[in-house]
Amino acid sequence: MRDTAARTSDEKIVVVKIGSSTLVDEHGQVRRDYFAALARQVRAVREAGWSPIIVSSGAIACGLPLMGLAKRPSDMPSLQAAASVGQNVLAAAYAESFAPLGIVTSQVLLTRHDTARRSAYLHARDALLALVSYRVVPVVNENDTTSVEQIRFGDNDTLSALVSCLVKADLSVIFSDVDGLYTANPATDPTARKIDSVDRIDEAMLASAGGAGSSVGTGGMITKLKAARVLMTAGIPLVICSGAEPDALPRIVAGKPVGTRFAGRAPRHEITNYKLWIALGDAAKGALSVDDGARAALVDGGKSLLCVGVTGAHGAFEAGDIVDIKDAHGHVFARGKVSASFDEVELARGHSSAQMASNRLLAPLAEKPLVHRDELVVFD
């Protein structure tokens, strides 16, 4: 029996996320010509030695017109119903477009439950790698029909980053309705210019990212940048480009300049399933500001965060919540699970373990790190 979790040294995996506005027109109709062109690109990259995995949006958008809905509803049951109807359309479009080129596709639907627990995470990984080993192109989507807010990924940019880390991809690509990252919104700022490559995602870059990019999609540039931040940490390069760019995928895997390329960190960092959810899961409930010494201890020393290095606390977080960790310049360089509430941190910040141990109110905090290394993801 083959070991589906193992990969041979000559295998290269590329994860390609495709947005709703690229796959479906404004009337909710599948862009058949695009699917045919995508199939040709997939065949080309396979001939070049790459195994593609597609993370596909579009199920809800495909289902809306068949249900007689002119616009995306806001209530969860209607969204789930549209996803159920549209998923059939989407799966059929992939199968019918890829089959003439001799390419078999499969449908893989995931929820957060499928990846949040280690055992389920490993099963999902093994299933994807088995499909790749059999020369099948997996088409992954969130299981919108059964997902509720508490177990949703939220957007397929996040799902794509998770799948890329799951299979230890060599490259991740996001096909969008924009041709890359710009210095400002090109629709409103004529001086905006495209950024060809990114080595570090800073606060200014995150602040310049807007909201959702289209009426049929859920992700904007901000979700792509947050996905890029995790992929860079994992050592997986990411390219964001227009899905309409001719033969974009073969050109990208050949190393040609297309869109914006985010460099992966070298050496690659292993990100466990647990740390993936710290990095990619629910929005942070607050933030901790730290001094330069604490930053160095986290980034260079591989240490846990102690109260003595904290200079400020922000947000109404409780013990067990996820918080961003900022340096003295306000740059978010890490994220982790905090062991104390905002009120406790405000009392304890700046104090050493010895000082807290001598204080009856703070003594419980002296016995443990504020953010343990095992529950911390460092982006820089």
Q: How many CA atoms lie within 13 A of 69 on its CB side?
A: 20
| DSSP secondary structure, 268-280, as one string | -----HHHHHHHH
Of 215, 248, 274, the residue that ends a domain is 274
| DSSP secondary structure, 278-312, as one string | HHHSSPPSEEEEE-HHHHHHHHTS-PPB-GGGEEE
Per-residue pLDDT, 158: 86
Same domain? 333 vs 200? no
Q: How many CA atoms lie within 13 A of 343 on its CB side?
A: 2
Same domain? 216 vs 240? yes
In CATH, what number is assigned to the domain containing residue 240? 3.40.1160.10
Report the domain count for the chain: 2
Same domain? 341 vs 371? yes
- Which strand ranges, in their side-by-side order, compose the sheet holding 322-326? 310-314, 286-290, 322-326, 332-338, 371-378
In terms of residue numbers, what domain contains 54? 12-274
Does a structural domain hold residue 7?
A: no
Task: Pull the structure tokens for residue 64.
Answer: 């809306």
Phi first, then psi, for residue 60 (nearest 5°) are -65, -45
Does a structural domain hold residue 1?
A: no
Per-residue pLDDT, 271: 73
Does a structural domain hold residue 214?
A: yes
- Collapsing DSSP to helix, strand or coil, 372 comes out as strand
Residue showing tokens 């986290």: 298
β-partners of residue 324 are 287, 335
Same domain? 269 vs 315? no
Same domain? 162 vs 305? no
Does a structural domain hold residue 292?
A: yes
* Pairwise CA distance, residues 128 & 136, whole Å: 9
Per-residue pLDDT, 70: 83
* Pairwise CA distance, residues 163 & 115, whole Å: 10
Does a structural domain hold residue 22?
A: yes
Sign of the C-alpha dihedral, residues 221, 218, 162, 46?
negative
Task: Pull the structure tokens for residue 209.
Answer: 């990212």
Per-residue pLDDT, 264: 85
Of 255, 274, 293, the residue that ends a domain is 274
Of 235, 251, 274, the residue that ends a domain is 274
* E strand map for 190-262: 194-195, 197-198, 238-242, 260-262
Does a structural domain hold residue 91?
A: yes
Residue showing tokens 């995996």: 13
Does a structural domain hold residue 4?
A: no
Per-residue pLDDT, 76: 83
Same domain? 224 vs 288? no
Averaged pLDDT, groups of 10, the chain, 380 residues long: 47 93 88 96 96 93 89 85 90 96 94 69 90 96 58 69 92 93 83 91 75 45 88 93 94 96 78 78 85 95 95 95 93 93 95 93 91 91
Sign of the C-alpha dihedral, residues 152, 157, 160, 165?
negative
* Pairwise CA distance, residues 123 & 379, whole Å: 27
Same domain? 333 vs 241? no
Same domain? 313 vs 249? no
Note whether 222 and 240 are within 8 A (CB).
no
Does a structural domain hold residue 65?
A: yes
Fill in the amino acid letter for 369: P
Same domain? 267 vs 291? no
Same domain? 208 vs 309? no
* Pairwise CA distance, residues 78 & 153, whole Å: 18
**Which has the closest alpha carbon to 12: 213, 252, 297, 257?**
252
Cα–Cα distances (Å) from 327 to 153, 208, 294, in that order, read 28, 19, 9
Same domain? 314 vs 234? no
Give the CA dihedral 57, 63, 65, 69, nearest 10 degrees.
Answer: -100
Same domain? 330 vs 196? no
Per-residue pLDDT, 77: 86
Give the CA dihedral 292, 297, 299, 305, nearest 10 degrees.
Answer: -90
* Pairwise CA distance, residues 176 & 242, whole Å: 5
Per-residue pLDDT, 238: 97
In CATH, what number is assigned to the domain containing residue 348? 2.30.130.10
SS (H, E, C) 29-86: CECHHHHHHHHHHHHHHHHCCEEEEEEECCHHHHHHHHCCCCCCCCCHHHHHHHHHHH
